[in-house]
A and B are shown apart, each in its own frame.
Chain A
Amino acid sequence: MRPESETMTRVYDLWVVAKPAEDVPGEWVAHCLEFDVVTQGRNARHAFEMASEAVAMVISDDLKASRDPSLRRAPKSFWDELYAMIPRAKAIDPTNRETVLETVKASEVHALFGQMQVAFRAIPENYGEEELNVPALWCSGGAATDAAAFP
Chain B
Amino acid sequence: MSMRLRDLVKCAKAAGATVEEPTRGSHWKVTVASKSYTIPCHNGIKTEVSDIYINGLCRCF
Contact = CB atoms under 8 A, between A and B. Distances in A.
Interface of A: 19, 21-24, 27, 29, 31, 36-42, 46, 50, 53-54, 57-58, 61-62, 65, 67, 72, 75
Chain B contact residues: helix, strand, loop or mixed: mixed
A42 B42 CA distance: 8
Nearest to B37: A58
Contacts of B53: 29, 38-40
Interface size class of B (residues with CB under 8 A): 20 to 34
A50 B40 contact: yes
Contacts of B48: 24, 27
Contacts of B50: 21-24, 27, 29, 40
A42 B41 CA distance: 11
Given A24-B49, A29-B50, A57 B59 contact: no
Contact of A57 (B2, B36, B56, B57): B36
